[in-house]
Amino acid sequence: MQLKNYIGGRWVDPENGRYIQDIDPGNGDVVADVPASSRKDAERAIEAARQAYESWRRVPAPKRGEILFTVGQMLKERKHELAEKMTREMGKVYAEAAGDVQEGIDMAFYMAGEGRRSFGYTTPSELPDKFAMATRDSIGVAGIITPWNFPMAIPTWKIFPALVCGNTVVFKPASQTPILAYELINILAEAGIPAGVVNLVFGSGSEVGETIIGDPGVNLISFTGSNQTGRHVARVAGEGLKRVSLELGGKNAIIVMDDADLDLAVDGILWSAFGTSGQRCTACSRLIVQEGIYDALEQRLKDRIASLKLGHGLDNHTDVGPLINQQAVEKVHSYVEIGQREGARLVIGGSRPSDSVYSTGHYYAPTLFADVTSEMRIATEEIFGPVLSMIRVKDLDEAIAVNNRVTYGLSSSIFTQDVNRVFRSIRDLATGIVYINAGTIGAEIHLPFGGTRGTGNGHREAGTAALDFFSEWKAVYVDFSGKLQRAQIDA
């Protein structure tokens, strides 16, 4: 399958005629040839989005929402096929891929509804015979740059609110997940999005990404990816006074107190640490455990991890799929070596699986470290793989302090039966998302998604919070007194 860019309502080849291969990380199959577009393709896409903006912003928001409703119906009809394609291009197990598509469906219906809400407000004027209101306005061209780990959810969290708010879009997906990006844009086009309103450009960050963040024709940037790239995006886009939303990962922890339901905690930990092979921004990579249950929890986790089955995501016996590529396997393994050098105790895992059935894919054994201290690199840096570190604490105060010590602040969780501990945690865990008696993953699309400190720059995605990013406020004063009234001066 050879993919094309989508610019100004037409599927087009990259002007340089270059392509790269997209590989199934579970077995090494080539799944697509992807345009390695240049700066010129990105500039054409930005130009197309600029031209389409004036008419799109005047389409009544309920009509824009209706198109998204159709998109939601089409995604729903094609959920199974899309999930299967996702597993092939990035490895996550089928059930999780279907969940990823479901997030897109939910977001389509939610944002379709926003077409008829997008509420502003009225407020009294300080002067007589004068009316005051605040309305949401579109902004312009949105540059959307997305990672490979949620090939449907993340693009839809960004593109759908951008569109319902009346912006046009230039979309650069990760090179590892082009097929889902292609399918999504195809569906948007079929559902009736006018030419130029959504444009898709495949290519590298250094060519296409750089063009989008630097071009004066782009007004806002929504980026999900690494902390390091995010800082660069903020610098370049900041120079152009663009509005920028950054979602930059986490070092999320689950706290387990002595009074926790351990069976429930173990299920939540395994799902959060090894779901998507640990390749979620929200994945749990630290376990903060009160000393009284530390040994028991370690033993239970060891036994359960030993029974997790690695394999291709389309095999229904698989619990844990491959990592995205060889580079990721090497990065994960280098952290395992760092942990051992730092003096952490390797409980289980810590290597590539030796069985030859795994030799064509990028597999890594689910890994547990114990006796980790909160300063170690494995307890502070984002690994983005199936590596979990157990830290021992004496009480809730220490658990919260350890949780908040890292530079990231996306998601956190506590397992306890004590209502006082629950409310102290809600108040004091310094993350954008807090779970009680559930793991760190599984955010729902109608609540704000995002984190504090090094996780981003203060914006939130999803829910109505997304409208705050993709629209701007316009304050409107209507004076029907028939005379000049001076605010702050005429009493």
Active site positions, annotated? 247, 281
- Member of 281, 310, 370, 390 binding ligand UN1 (CB under 6 A): 281
Per rule CB under 6 A, is residue 176 in the interface with ligand UN1? no
Q: From residue 407, how far is each of 319, 403, 430, 448, 486 by CA, in Å?
A: 30, 10, 10, 20, 49
Hey, what are 274's tokens? 């090894």
Nearer to ligand UN1, 281 or 414 (CB): 281
Please report how close the Cβ of residue 100 comes to ligand UN1 at its closest, in angstroms.
8
Per rule CB under 6 A, is residue 182 in the interface with ligand UN1? no
- Among the listed ranges 11-19, 167-175, 375-383, 440-448, the one in contact with ligand UN1 (CB under 6 A) is 440-448
SS3 letters across 173-196: CCCCCHHHHHHHHHHHHHHCCCCC
Q: β-pairing, 411-415 with 252-256?
A: parallel
Per rule CB under 6 A, is residue 144 in the interface with ligand UN1? no
Q: Can you list the positions of beta strands (E) in 36-124?
A: 121-124
Residues with Cβ < 8 Å from 431, sequence gap 6 or more?
A: 250, 252, 403, 409, 410, 411, 412, 451, 452, 455
- Among the listed ranges 214-222, 277-285, 333-341, 344-352, the one in contact with ligand UN1 (CB under 6 A) is 277-285
Distance CA 45, CA 53 (A): 12
Please report how close the Cβ of residue 150 comes to ligand UN1 at its closest, in angstroms.
5
Please report how close the Cβ of residue 88 comes to ligand UN1 at its closest, in angstroms.
20
Hey, what are 82's tokens? 């899309």
Q: Between residue 331 and residue 370, which ones bind ligand UN1 under the rule CB under 6 A? A: none
Please report how close the Cβ of residue 348 comes to ligand UN1 at its closest, in angstroms.
24
- Binding string, 101-130, against ligand UN1, x = CB under 6 A? --x---------------------------
- Among the listed ranges 110-118, 285-293, 421-429, 438-446, the one in contact with ligand UN1 (CB under 6 A) is 438-446
Please report how close the Cβ of residue 21 comes to ligand UN1 at its closest, in angstroms.
25
Residues shown for the chain: 491
Q: Are 17 and 37 in contact (CB under 8 A)?
A: no
Q: Are 277 and 93 in contact (CB under 8 A)?
A: no
- Member of 38, 118, 138, 149 binding ligand UN1 (CB under 6 A): 149
Per rule CB under 6 A, is residue 442 in the interface with ligand UN1? yes
Q: From residue 336, how far is each of 303, 376, 382 by CA, in Å?
A: 20, 12, 13
- Member of 188, 260, 441, 466 binding ligand UN1 (CB under 6 A): 441
Three-state SS for 291?
Answer: helix
Nearer to ligand UN1, 273 or 348 (CB): 273
Applying CB under 6 A, the residues found at the interface with ligand UN1 are: 103, 149-150, 153, 280-282, 441-443
